[in-house]
Amino acid sequence: MKRIFLFVLDSVGIGELPDAAEYGDAGTNTLAAAATSPYFHMPNMKKLGLFNIDGVSCYEKTDRPEAAIARMKESSKGKDTTIGHWEIAGIVSDKPLPTYPNGFPQELLDAYCEKTGRGVLCNKPYSGTEVIKDYGDEHVKTGALIVYTSADSVFQVAAHEEVVPLEELYQCCHQARELLQGEHGVGRVIARPFIGTSGNYTRTAHRHDYSLPPQGVTMLDLLKDAGRDVIAVGKINDIFAGRGITEYTYTESNADGIDKTLAMMEKDFHGLCFTNLVDYDMLYGHRRDIDGYAKALSYFDEKLPEFLSGMGEDDVLMVTADHGCDPSYKLSTDHTREYTPFVMYGKKIKPVNYGTRDTFADIAATVLDLLGVDGKVHGTSLLDE
């Protein structure tokens, strides 16, 4: 094959994993929750076979799926973006990344304040929208950075764009990334800029993620070393700390990410276009907005025919996810430990149901196989079967 377009629908899980209860996520099912909304409408993904995947029973099935399908099991320890994407790219993480349910150690924050020259507010797990409501005024008054975390392995830094200019905020996040190594090596440091006035603060689209470099060889490294193109759309470049990427573009929304990927279909390249659509997770999953989640899924489905009609004989479309974030789950607002879907369509791809796979890393092995690149990653190519 010549080109693969791989979409990660960020957080679109399809039901609890066998160990979900160990993560506090028993009974979760992101896709089924979204399907309860009157705004949920995915006839094109139905044709491909999304609802024929093992365990999916929230929508009508089709008698003749047009794509190859599978249910993917996360074999890494965790349920966050970084570990999920690493596993999609061929790395299985035996150990979860560190989390801080009680906030970061004081000695770490003291070192951070010395590096940045600014104080710190909050230092506890918090909702990103609530933290700027509760600490925004004090931040504007003092200039201290709002540092917070979540159930995920993240160190998040929020700052008003008129108090801490974007370039300074990004530098503060670089400095945090330098500090957060070894035992404190969180998956991501995230810049969370916001604007507005007291009582009306809103986050902007200028977020940036500073990830821990992948702890092993990924399909991106192997593709780049083999002379293939690796085009990152959305936060993919950040998630992999730029490693194995030959070209990248950031996005401001799902719609922007879809449009930019459609534009890549006009480009003559040989390799992988790897796109993350983050709004499902960031805007709807964490905020437990079922209708918003359903509308966003329906929009992707509405745009799907444009991708299919633009595909050449040697093109492949893949759709998957990195974890769950059930918008109906009330015990927390965090990610949920779920199976993910895998749908693979192309004019030369047989519409086979591959059942339930043991690891997301089968995607990496399949991508390498399709593009004719040798190299060892975790996982087994679907083409072997």
- Residue 385's pLDDT band, with cuts at 50, 70 and 90, is confident
Q: What is the pLDDT of residues 224-283, one digit of tens each?
A: 999 999 999 999 999 999 999 999 999 999 999 999 999 999 999 999 999 999 999 999
Q: What is the pLDDT of residues 296-352, one digit of tens each?
A: 999 999 999 999 999 999 999 999 999 999 999 999 889 999 999 999 999 999 999
- Residue 151's pLDDT band, with cuts at 50, 70 and 90, is confident
**Shared fold status for 3-95+213-384 and 106-210:** no
Residue 317 CA to residue 177 CA, distance in Å, equals: 34
**Residue whose structure tokens are 């995230």:** 190
- Nearest alpha-carbon partner for 12 in 361, 357, 323: 323
Q: What is residue 205's predicted lDDT score, i.e. its pLDDT?
A: 87
CATH superfamily of 3-95+213-384: Alkaline Phosphatase, subunit A (3.40.720.10)
- Residue 96's pLDDT band, with cuts at 50, 70 and 90, is confident
Q: What is residue 48's predicted lDDT score, i.e. its pLDDT?
A: 98
How buried is 87 (Cβ within 10 angstroms: 0-12 exposed, 13-18 middle, 19+ buried)? buried
Q: What is residue 234's predicted lDDT score, i.e. its pLDDT?
A: 96
Query: What is the pLDDT averaged over residues 98-112?
Result: 96
Q: What is residue 360's predicted lDDT score, i.e. its pLDDT?
A: 98
Q: What is the pLDDT of residues 4-45, one digit of tens each?
A: 999 999 999 999 999 999 999 999 999 999 999 999 999 999
116: Cβ contacts below 8 Å, ≥ 6 apart: 145, 172, 175
- Nearest alpha-carbon partner for 276 in 239, 329, 228: 239
Q: 0.85 exceeded by the pTM?
A: yes
- Residue 195's pLDDT band, with cuts at 50, 70 and 90, is very high
Residue 84 CA to residue 249 CA, distance in Å, equals: 21
Percent of the chain with pLDDT over 70: 100
CATH superfamily of 106-210: Phosphopentomutase (3.30.70.1250)
Residue 359 CA to residue 152 CA, distance in Å, equals: 20
Domain parsing of the chain, residue ranges: 3-95+213-384, 106-210
- Nearest alpha-carbon partner for 377 in 368, 385, 207: 368
Q: What is the pLDDT of residues 35-81, one digit of tens each?
A: 999 999 999 999 999 999 999 999 999 999 999 999 999 999 999 89
Residue 183 scores a pLDDT above 80: yes
Q: What is the mean pLDDT of the chain?
A: 96
Q: What is residue 105's predicted lDDT score, i.e. its pLDDT?
A: 97
Residue 384 scores a pLDDT above 90: no
Residue 317 CA to residue 149 CA, distance in Å, equals: 35
Residue 101 scores a pLDDT above 80: yes
